[in-house]
Structure 1
Amino acid sequence: MSPTPVPLPPLVEPVAALSAAESARTARHHVLAPLGELGQRRLAAAHVAIVGAGGLGSPAVLALAAAGVGTLTVIDDDVVETSNLQRQLLHRMADVGRPKVDSAARAAADLAPEGRVRSVRERLTPENAARLLAGAHVVLDGSDTFDTRLAVAEACDVLGVPLVWGTVQGFDAQVTVFWSAPPAGAAAVRLSDLYPAGSAGDVPTCAQVGVLGSLCLQVGALMATQAITLIAGIGAPLLGRILVIDGLRATQREVPLRGRSPEAAVAAPAASGPARVPPAELAGALGSPAAPLVVDVREPDEVRAGTIAGALHVPLGELRADPGAATARVRDAADGRPVVVVCLSGVRSAEGAALLAAHGIDARTLDGGIRTWPEPLVEPAVTT
């Protein structure tokens, strides 16, 4: 069960007044309880940093500029490519070959002339992340590599600012909020609580597995909404909760995410990530007396369409929410045999294997996921 959402105080003090033009432009917010005119003045005083002007950054920039956020810092060192235009709606065909931050500045200014856009055409790294993000009240991460996401998260931990985090891969997405220094009464949650050191492995890129453009718009808009609720102090942000979206089946659900203490996080040994098993090797081993236990961490709808023969179904959300009970199920079913965790592409299985390893099970992950499986899939033997 997810924790009860907790309202948080506003991040910024409001500006004294809005101009007549800005009041007219944002009039529909003024009558929107509980945002109202006071919340709109808080938005005008706010500074939001957006890392990446791509699939997630594009809708976030548009939504936050239109919402009246006073200062946007957009960080991206890339140029527009033709293949970006399927999902990165900041840019136009005429922008191909030009810096993405230029498109962002132009689009934001067209929507909200009184807003300020700081365009930073620089690649964010562990060395410059804290400098680039300093001064922001909230950070949105729309970057496209896990190394960059780690650098953003570590800088936000040091700066003590909330990090709105979203990912999209294929038809699947997640949105959450990390915050190392939340207000009293709220528990700190960091990226390292979701992905302990080394557990993410080699995350496939959009170019390798594809991405649904319209889902990027949905997730970027949700990230912008999270920033607005944090700035204005309304509603209850996704701190301690992960929103999981299945775009292909039009479902959304949330799973809890509990933070570790800073002492535990420091004490935890760094991991190199779970070992990977080639599909052919696993397929050959399944016929032996000591065949590994296959643990499928996909969603129920995915598993009903077919899984590896004999697989135990333990959804990743269940493993995240109650790792002790889920691990006990796996340990009983394995009965001393090796464990191999599988998902569609190998991303979720790497996290699942890391969670099992943290509870004493030496689990590996199927390299490339079920999409690379050489044998026919079967009806699940165990469902949840």
Structure 2
Amino acid sequence: MSLSDDELDRYARHIVLPQLGGAGQMRLKAARVAVVGAGGIGAAVIPALAGAGIGHLTIIDGDIVDKSNLQRQQLYKTGQVGMGKALLASQFVMARNPHVGVTAISDRLNADNADAFLGGHDLIIDGTDNFATRLMVSDTAVRLGTPLLSAAAQQFQGQVALFSAQPCYRCFVGDAFDADDCDTCAELGVLGALTATVGSFAALTAINAIAGIGGDLFGTLHLFDGAGLNWRRIRLSSDPSCRSCGRPSSS
């Protein structure tokens, strides 16, 4: 695998970065990333990763564009209301960067298809807006042995964390949120610019992780206060009794 002349021109500002260079750009090109959710978070993640030259993006979203989405999901236009998000997002990727392969999956992720849809990727990015789906994605990532980048935004608060084998996302939130009736941004609201901020930070985290920039990125929760405009970091711990990644007792 090598970079074409067009790719060398396209990624010139990456390649001159000493932390990234040609070797890092090649790692981006070799990567396969699944993005679950092409809503507020995904609408920022997908353009950033396409522009960065990720080799293949799989976009999973069974939803259609609603007028209320346009306040924060800059991938979509008013004339596209009622159209499927996964297909529209994949068309955006193809138009933005012909060197990025893309697969659009216009189905909702569930326990029956999660392994098939998410298997074969180097990184899973979850930008969905309900705990039941997020926990299912996390459990699948643990089962597949695939790193998970979880990003969420609600009201004025955002969070991003990269998980590997331990701790996992379920270690962080526990089992109380497996139900489908937990609050979402539809009920609580979300500032439009917040999802772009959090999604862009998630994309940067993904690029750094794939390219090997910044040391150990796993197991740290990044919290953003959109009202106070500040970030803080919290180191997460594994839950030995976690039913997803916890180690079974030897007794």
Alignment of 1:90 with 2:69, yes or no, is no
- Of 132, 138, 145, 2:123 maps to 138
Q: What secondary structure sits across from 1:219 in the alignment? A: helix
**1:382 equivalent in structure 2:** none
Q: What secondary structure sits across from 2:91 in the alignment? A: helix
When residues 118 and 136 of structure 1 are mapped into structure 2, their CA distance, relative to the original with a 3 A threshold, is: same
**1:249 equivalent in structure 2:** 228
Q: What secondary structure sits across from 1:48 in the alignment? A: strand
Moved over 6 A (4+): none
- Give me the whole-angstrom Cα distance separating, in 1, the residues matched to 2:58 and 2:226: 29
- Of 224, 239, 244, 2:218 maps to 239
Q: What secondary structure sits across from 1:265 in the alignment? A: coil
Q: What secondary structure sits across from 2:182 in the alignment? A: coil
**2:189 equivalent in structure 1:** 210
Q: How does 1:1-384 map to 2 (within 5 A)?
A: 16-180=1-165, 188-198=166-176, 202-236=181-215, 238-261=217-240, 264-266=241-243
Deviation readout 1:52-97 (Å, 9 max, x if unpaired):
0000001100000000001000000011111101111111112111
| Deviation, structure 1 residue 106 | 1.6
Please provide the CA RMSD for this pair.
Answer: 1.6
- Give me the whole-angstrom Cα distance separating, in 2, the residues matched to 1:192 and 1:209: 23
**1:352 equivalent in structure 2:** none
Q: Is the 8 A contact 1:229 1:237 kept in 2?
A: no
When residues 254 and 200 of structure 1 are mapped into structure 2, their CA distance, relative to the original with a 3 A threshold, is: farther
TM-score normalised to structure 1 length: 0.61
- Give me the whole-angstrom Cα distance separating, in 2, the residues matched to 1:28 and 1:195: 39
In structure 1, what residue type is equivalent to 2:171? D
Q: Is the 8 A contact 1:226 1:237 kept in 2?
A: no
Q: Any unmatched runs of 5+ in structure 1?
A: 1-15, 181-187, 269-384
Q: Is the 8 A contact 2:132 2:178 kept in 1?
A: no
| Deviation, structure 1 residue 267 | 10
| Deviation, structure 1 residue 236 | 3.0
Q: Which structure's relative contact order is higher, taking Cα pairs within 8 Å and 6+ residues apart? A: 2
| Deviation, structure 1 residue 27 | 0.5
When residues 84 and 237 of structure 1 are mapped into structure 2, their CA distance, relative to the original with a 3 A threshold, is: farther
The number of residue pairs the alignment matches comes to: 244
In structure 2, what residue type is equivalent to 1:170? Q
TM-score normalised to structure 2 length: 0.93
- Give me the whole-angstrom Cα distance separating, in 2, the residues matched to 1:61 and 1:232: 17
Q: Any unmatched runs of 5+ in structure 2?
A: 246-251
- Give me the whole-angstrom Cα distance separating, in 2, the residues matched to 1:77 and 1:156: 20
Identity %: 40
Q: Is the 8 A contact 1:177 1:237 kept in 2?
A: no
Q: Which structure has the greater CA radius of gyration?
A: 1
When residues 71 and 59 of structure 1 are mapped into structure 2, their CA distance, relative to the original with a 3 A threshold, is: same
